[in-house]
Amino acid sequence: GQNIDQPTEMTATEGAIVQINCTYQTSGFNGLFWYQQHAGEAPTFLSYNVLDGLEEKGRFSSFLSRSKGYSYLLLKELQMKDSASYLCAVMDSNYQLIWGAGTKLIIKP
């Protein structure tokens, strides 16, 4: 079966750095997405990786290793507004998105 694993919850301190991991097992691979979802709101797109390596976008970076079935989202200089759930999703060989359950990130002052 297809599976996306990510930690259920993480806590970090304002101003610090946090890394949210995602491992996947899917039928084929056509890219990995990270979305941010604030409580009670819709998911919004953060990043897309299809080749191995690091993609940097401001305070957020996303890394992919296809051979290891592994990705992480790195958030730097954490702000209180970064408190949200972070969803990892993989597009399989049929171009269907397989979603993880999300990691709830709690930022403390």
Could you list the residues that contact another protein (CB under 8 A)?
A: 30-31, 33, 35, 40-45, 48, 50, 85, 87, 89, 91, 95-97, 99, 101-102
- What lies within 8 Å, CB to CB, of 94 at 6+ separation is 27, 28
Return the number of the residue (13 or 44) whose C-beta is nearest another protein: 44
Return the number of the residue (42 or 80) whose C-beta is nearest another protein: 42
In the three-class reduction of DSSP (H, G, I as helix; E, B as strand; rest coil), residue 99 is classed as strand
For the residues of 48-64, what is the DSSP string, one character each?
EE-SSEEEEETTEEEEE
- Min separation Cβ 15 and another protein, Å: 27
- Min separation Cβ 68 and another protein, Å: 21
Q: Are strands 9-13 and 103-108 parallel, antiparallel or unpaired?
A: parallel
